[in-house]
Every structure is written in C-alpha cells, then in structure tokens.
Structure 1
C-alpha cells in the first residue's frame, strides 16, 4: 500500500511512529500541504492520505485529492468545519451534544463597546489556528487589555464553567479511544501538566457521546476536550486530527485505520451537502 502523510511536519511523533510501523511492508510518502493543488496527478494517487493540513492551500489540496477519488482522513470539509468555533458549537448543539453555550462577536472591539458582557467568560478566536486567542476574562480591565491587541479579531464568547483546572482530553482514532487529564491553559500552573486517565474508568455514556462526535462531524481521527460539570461531560472544543502525543497504542491504531481505508474496508466519513450555519458551511453527517 502507498500511504501519504499530508503534513508540513512528518516528524511529528504520532506520524513518525505510524510511518515506522508501516514501512517494513508498505510505502510511506509525504506531501507538503503547500503544494499547488493543480499539480496533483490523478494517475499517481496514493492509496490513502492522512491529512494534518489546516491552511487554506492545504485544504484546497485535500479537496483536489478527494475530487480525484483519493480517500483522505479527515476530509477537507470536516477539517475546515472544526476550525470555525461558531459553526462547531451550532452543529454540536443542534445534534444534541453537550457543548458549552457559545455566542459570536464579529470583532473583539464590539465587546468593549457593549457593557452587557457578564464575567467571567472565556473568549476565543472564532477561527482556530496556531497562536490564536484563548483567554479568560474576569473584568473590564482584562477585556480592554485583550482588545488593545485583538480588537478586530472575530471571536466567540463562552461563559466560564467552574472546574478543577483539569481538562479531560479524549482522542479517537478509528474505533479506538485514548484519554488523559491535561492541565487547562486557563488554570493556574501546576507541577504536573498531565495525569493518566484510563479509558476503562470513563462512564459508558461518555464514550458513546465522544463517538457520536465523530458521527456528527464526519471525523475519523479527532479529539474532544471535556469538562466534568456535576458529574456530566461538557464539550469545550473539538479538534480534527490532533497530536495524540504519548498515548500507547495510538500509532498502531492509526496504522490500522490507514491500511483498512487503503484496502477499501473503511470508508472515510464525509459531510453531507453544505448549508449555511452562522455564515459558515456545515451540514448533517453521513456515515
């Protein structure tokens, strides 16, 4: 099989370990997400593409590969959907998932001009990307401080949910679930950054809900960030193809998913035809 990593960082620990597992019997290649989509040769496609491409050029490249019939994990549409926190929250809530209530502001400066904001809140860039804005705001002074740097940034606002400062990080690769506690970036620093979270200790309904996320968002490799509120899970973020660092068995699960997809035994999930949600294209899921 020919497995292609669509990524600018093939040395990422998860991808590198997966490639090492595959290379004794299979060919593993790397395709730079900056490649011109028009340069795709439909006669020389890999059997499966593992996509950690999130830039506009990378997503366009993934779309071109899909248009030529190549299986891509995850699809460009599903990846792009998870970059828009407004569309993410809207779809999750419409699907009945326990997602934190989210409102949107066209620019952070509007929040400074509107004195109706009730703190504490969490303010995030609407569009998820490296080095985006994620901050807790407890008062007007903090809001003005953020606005000095991010005034024109489109943002989402989520009411702050009191918690113990530890996020439940759950990752799904195909049929396998992995988990750990990770110190929230909004919490006070702690001596430990991570703590073990055995999947067997998670309630069955939590696992069912996390798998439901993959169905709703048409994701095959994804992460879900949860808070525990009165014993129930509350989703605060969903990520397409996260790092899944340090999880025993994750490279094996990804290698298995890649080979099953390449052999036609697994069909990548895809989003149904898009419709407008809060100005962003999303649609119901289809298996």
Structure 2
C-alpha cells in the first residue's frame, strides 16, 4: 500500500512512529503542502502517482486545497478537507456541536475585538478567542474592561468568539480519538495562571462516566476519524467541551501509532477495492 502524509513535519513523533510500523512492507511518503502550487493554475495536486490514502496533518489553505484535489480523484483523505476546515472555524464548530446536543460552551461571534471592547455590561470573566483557529491565534481570559481594551492594540480587527468563563480546576482533559479508540491526558489550561507544564498521562478508567462515549460521538457529528476533544469538568463530572481539533499531535500515547497505522491501511485497502 502507498500511504502519503500531507504535512510539513513528517518527523512528528506520532507520524514517525506510524511510518516505522508500516515500512518496509508499505510505502510511506510525505508532501509538504506549502511547497505545492498556490492554486493559481486551478490544479493544486502534487505531481506523480496517486497514493492509496492521504493523511491530512496540516490545516493551511494550501493543505486543504491539496487534500480536496485528491478527494475529487476518489482517494480517501483522513480527515477530509471539509471536516478539517470546519474545525478551524470556531463559530461553525460551536453551532454544529450545540445543534447536535453536545455539551459545548455557549459561544457568540463578534465581528471584531474592537467591537467587543465597545460593548457595555459584559458578564466578566470572559473567554475570548480568535474565530479562526490557527497557530499563534488569540485565546485568553478577560476579567475586566481594562484588559479587553489592552487587547485592542494588537487584535482590534480580529474576528472573535466570546464565551462566559466556566469555573473549573484549571486542567483540560485532552481526549484523543483514532478510529474510535480513545486516549487521554491532562494538561493545564492555557487560561490558567502560571506555566502550563507537561502533559500528564491519564488512564481511561479515571475519566468520569460517559466521557469516552462523548468523545466518540464528537467524531460522528463532525465526520472525523483522527481528532482531539478538549473537555473541562464543570462540576461533579459534568463535561464541557471547549475545543475540537482535527488530527492533533497525540504525543506519548501508547498504542496511538498502531491505531493510526491500522486506520491508514484499512482506508487504503478500501480505496484499492474501489479502484478495482
């Protein structure tokens, strides 16, 4: 089977470990989407023979366009370009999650941070995030109007989403899912004071009842096969979803590379049967 990674970082630990498992019986290669055409020709696809499956571990516009070009040729992409793009828009993400009945933080969208700063009687503390998820985006807790005004110097025109801050332990439960198999860890929230520190292992048996099923349901709702769900305990084991990520890092999780390799091969075999 021919498996192709769409990423600028093929040496990422989980990808490198998966590649080691698959070779030499299978061919594993990578394409850096940022090195491909900018799409001005109307065809962003990379040259050369097609792979049996593509793993989309990139979220840039070029990466999504490249993945979409392979999907148009009938080749499976994990996760799909559409599902990956949906997780980049926090407004669309929250809307879909809440329509599906998932316990997602109540979210509203504001055209710009400057517009939010002009509002009166805001229910502080707030969580303010860039609407469009990307590296080095805005994610912060805002406790008062002075802090909000201070953000205007760098983020005035940034489209944002706003959530009321929910009191919690300051720890995010990182739930990762690969083809229905759940992995878990704890990490200090980026909204908590002080350094975030390392990600701590968490046995599945330590999760509150129903959280594993909740994580799997997210995949069904968002059409994701490799994804992460950030959950906080809002009290007495009540889950509150604060973020959903397509193809996260899943570092240091025993069994994750094996699960990813098995998923890739199964998708590649399905692709081969369709071609025949």
State the TM-score, normalized to the length of structure 1. Answer: 0.89
In structure 2, relative to structure 1, the CA distance for the partners of 1:250 and 1:54 (3 Å cut) is same
Q: Does 1:245 align with 2:258?
A: no
1:113 corresponds to: 118
Kept in 1: contact 2:127–2:162 (CA 8 A):
yes
TM superposition outliers: structure 1 runs of 4+ over 4 Å: none
2:191 and 2:234 map into 1 onto residues whose CA distance is 16
1:138 and 1:151 map into 2 onto residues whose CA distance is 18
Residue ranges of structure 2 left out of the alignment (5+ in a row): none
1:262 corresponds to: 268
In structure 2, relative to structure 1, the CA distance for the partners of 1:133 and 1:191 (3 Å cut) is closer
How far the C-alpha of 1:39 sits from its partner, in A, is 5.3
Determine helix, strand or coil for the equivalent of 2:232: strand
Kept in 2: contact 1:260–1:266 (CA 8 A):
no
| Structural RMSD (CA) | 1.8
Matches within 5 A, 1:16-165: 16-34=16-34, 35-36=36-37, 38=43, 40=45, 44-165=49-170
Determine helix, strand or coil for the equivalent of 1:238: strand
Residue ranges of structure 1 left out of the alignment (5+ in a row): 268-287
How far the C-alpha of 1:105 sits from its partner, in A, is 0.3
How far the C-alpha of 1:209 sits from its partner, in A, is 1.1
What whole-Å deviation, never above 9, does each CA across 1:240-277 have from its counterpart, x for those lacking one? 0000011111111100110011111999xxxxxxxxxx
1:232 corresponds to: 238
What whole-Å deviation, never above 9, does each CA across 1:189-219 have from its counterpart, x for those lacking one? 2585332210122244211111000000000
Task: State how many pairs are aligned.
Answer: 267
State the TM-score, normalized to the length of structure 2. Answer: 0.92
